[in-house]
Structure 1
């Protein structure tokens, strides 16, 4: 989500590890993460609809784990519950950093993207319910079109928006972070069927212990980063397992663990002798694992939907779930984000950044219609595997995300060309 701070570039200065450093730095680039995400999803979709589809589903449904701990899960479930927890851990870190040292620390500066995010969640949900109806089984998927995929959206912006104002990127990042926070709350509140209080309480206690150790052992972990892995990683896994056993989606543990990691205050960043905070070190270490492995593997196991040829795709097109998801993501997101931004700027008498235009905000709204990762997760939580809505919901997310990416590329690509010409004109006038 963010570029690597300069003070992090020399954390691993050993020349013998130069190649591994180069690879992890590549994985940190949003464009590479987005490309891997799309590639793994495409491979899964093609494989699941090929003559060798049975082998794909055999791999996805293969179970492994320790049954007494309720951890004998399919590889697909391990990806959704386990690997995606790494992604949500980074979301927790990002949220913590935004609240402590980022744009969200000041309500007056964060109010516009926060309200925009709320509009971008509410309008797609309302449009979805208006399509499928309130009292139908399809209505259980109302939250599917509410999520924005940060990695995918920022990757598209990085590819097509080389000359777009930096304020637009900040707006998208803040919007996407708040969107994730809302999505996490939705999953925790609305998609938890039953809760076992004992494992939940033990999970919260374990997370508290994790946080206390992280807060009180900063110097140790700064001096010996390997100690953080040896001490915090096992405790984090125990917290995740207990959260999973409680019935609450285990990815919530990742967010809570991320929130416990200490973050340097903005003033500390200006100190010349200030080293990287533990949150920055963890983000530096975990982001390649998330972007290069966890999220692509999740996409691989989630995007493999047997469409059933032309007839199956035609059947999906007539499903209200698909129609509601596509309308919610492709239309609801830009309408909700743009309208909410307009309202809050008028009510609070706030001016947009001078470098931005309303067409730019609308373009980011279209880009936010890429729902991929979290939307696929909510499909799995909304409908039972094997139901038509389960498959059609995933087809809907894939279709809507591709359509939103294409439309955003057109709108923001034209804007990027305009900004580039303006920069060239300004440069020529200076000469």
Structure 2
């Protein structure tokens, strides 16, 4: 009797039951994750260096020079683009970061895990819970800490509810590279996919909740360069100068509309064509893959670190740390990142297992998921951006929130290190056995059906 083609071969790692959570993916996916991990890890190291340099300078005798550089204004006033360097970094360079995020999101929804509703349920649920619970804990913490305070001040504090909702993928992967280099690719892939969905939710929050007013004429006009960008890519006109023209115009019009200009980056990324057939072919490289490969190093190695340099310069000396721990908004951020992210991501993952009757892959343990959930509390780039939007760049509360993001992220990273390092040696031994067993095609046998 012929076998049912829909029934997976239980001996094949690539054909494990759909009820397995965080199962091993394909060899192509493993290579993609490894490449992304290398790029983001290097970017995370540069990002950390930029943040440390900013903090040191901002607390040195030359702190006024740092502030003067950050607040130096440049750009054409006639186009309302006479912005400070700090704003150029937040609105301009971060648009490149969100362009990469948009491309990743498009690839995931068309040809990745998010294209399969069963596989997509896990990262979407984990990301959604990892956004909702930190926001809720921020509000609860702020209410408790501000108990008996002024209602008007409380209203201002609550504007920062979204700050602890974002995971910084560069920092998280940099930490993962140090404490868990041998964790299974399924966990790393889960972290990457989780961050992609997290970025989508974050940019939606920015567009909806942190937009004061909208110029619909400018927003409608932005459709023209976006269409031009799409047509150029469809016709395979890939000259960087030609592509830059509609991209910059679209960014400028979105900025003029009152919506945060980084939204333009996501829209441009989502318009990049993705061919599932090409994406699934290990011997071919799609346009989206090539663009992501070319832009990601600039994003991770320059755009995000420059933003970090201008955003992370907080004053710690002279009572800055004490004032931070006395600020209800800062307390809410730290609780949201460390506790909210952990319980949200882990709870979302456990809920999928509980209510869909799916089981965690036999190669993993729930301890791994918990460690990864703690690591999701490493927030930085988007958290700092939302903090600036919520409280105003350079304001006292913005300074407190920035420091809270740094402290919360550091605590999350240290706790994740404690949890994940216990499992790292086990996976190192497993990986050595798998990579030592190669066929002539160079692909580990574990990724191939017998």
Instruction: Give TM-score, length-normalised by structure 1.
Output: 0.88
* Mapped contact 1:30–1:158 kept (Cα < 8 A): no
Helix, strand or coil at the partner of 1:29: helix
1:129 is matched with 139
Q: 2:163 maps to what in 1?
A: 144
Looking at structure 2, the residues matched to 26 and 140 of structure 1 have their Cα atoms a distance apart, in angstroms, of: 34
1:130: Cα distance to partner?
0.3
**TM-fit CA distance, 1:423:** 6.0
Equivalent residues of 2:37, 2:173 under 8 A apart: no
Rounded to whole Å, the distance in 2 between the matches of 1:45 and 1:60 is: 13
Change (3 A) 1:426 1:187: closer
1:282 matched to 2:291: yes
Residues 316-358 of structure 1: CA deviation (Å, up to 9, x unaligned)? 1111111111110001111111112111211111112222211
Aligned counterparts, 1:29-428, within 5 A = 29-133=39-143, 135-215=154-234, 217-218=235-236, 220-221=237-238, 227=239, 229-265=240-276, 267-271=277-281, 275-309=284-318, 311-421=319-429
**1:27–1:292 Cα contact (<8 Å) kept:** no
| Alpha-carbon distance in 2 for matches of 1:278, 1:330 | 38
* Cα displacement string for residues 391-411 of structure 1 (whole angstroms, at most 9, x for unaligned residues): 100000111111111111121
Residue 170 of structure 1 and its aligned partner are, at CA, apart by: 1.4
Report deviation, 1:30: 2.5
Displacement of 1:155 in angstroms is 1.8
**177 and 270 in structure 1: CA distance in 2 versus 1, 3 angstrom threshold:** closer
Q: 1:137 to 1:420 in 2, by over 3 A?
A: same
Q: C-alpha displacement at 1:93, in angstroms?
A: 0.5
Change (3 A) 1:269 1:139: closer
Provide Cα deviations, 1:102-150, integer angstroms capped at 9, x if missing partner: 1111111110111011110000000000011295311000000000001
Q: Which has the higher helix share?
A: 1
User: In the alignment, is the contact (CA less than 8 A) between 1:28 and 1:287 conserved in 2?
Assistant: no
Deviates more, 1:95-104 or 1:282-291: 282-291
CA contact (8 A) 1:27 1:291 kept: no
CA–CA distance in structure 1, aligned partners of residues 184 and 36 of structure 2:
24
- In structure 1, distance between residues paired with 2:338 and 2:48: 18
* Cα-to-partner distance string for 1:260-288 (whole Å, 9 max, x where unaligned): 111231x324557x642221221121111
- Where 2:200 maps in the other structure, the secondary structure is helix
Contact 2:272/2:288 (8 A) holds in 1: yes
Residues 172/231 of structure 1: CA separation in 2 closer, same or farther (3 Å cut): same
Determine if contact 2:278/2:286 at 8 Å carries over to the other structure. Answer: no
Report the CA distance between 1:301 and its aligned residue: 0.2
Say if 1:340 and 1:384 are closer, same or farther in 2 by CA, change over 3 A.
same
Q: When the two structures are superposed, what TM-score results if normalisation uses the length of structure 2?
A: 0.84
Structure 2 CA distance for aligned equivalents of residues 364 and 26 of structure 1 = 17
Q: Structure 1 residues 427, 201: closer, same or farther in 2, change over 3 A? A: closer
Structure 1 residues 231 and 297 mapped into 2: Cα distance closer, same or farther (>3 Å)? Answer: same
Cα distance 1:270–1:110, how it changes in 2: closer, same or farther (>3 A)? closer
Residue number in structure 2 paired with 1:15: none
What is the distance in 2 between the residues matched to 1:70 and 1:89?
23
Structure 2: state its 5+ residue gaps. Answer: 1-26, 144-150, 437-450
Give secondary structure in 2 for the equivalent of 1:136.
Answer: helix
| 1:19-68 deviation line (CA, Å, top 9, x unaligned) | xxxxxx99962221111000000000110110000111111100000111
Cα distance in 2 between the residues matched to 1:183 and 1:93: 16
Structure 1 residues without counterparts, runs of 5 or longer? 9-24, 222-226
SS of match in other structure, 1:98 = helix
Contact persistence 1:121–1:333 (CA under 8 A):
yes
CA distance in structure 1 between the aligned counterparts of 2:31 and 2:384, rounded to whole angstroms: 36
Residues 40 and 169 of structure 2 are in contact (CA less than 8 Å); yes or no, is this contact kept in structure 1? Answer: no
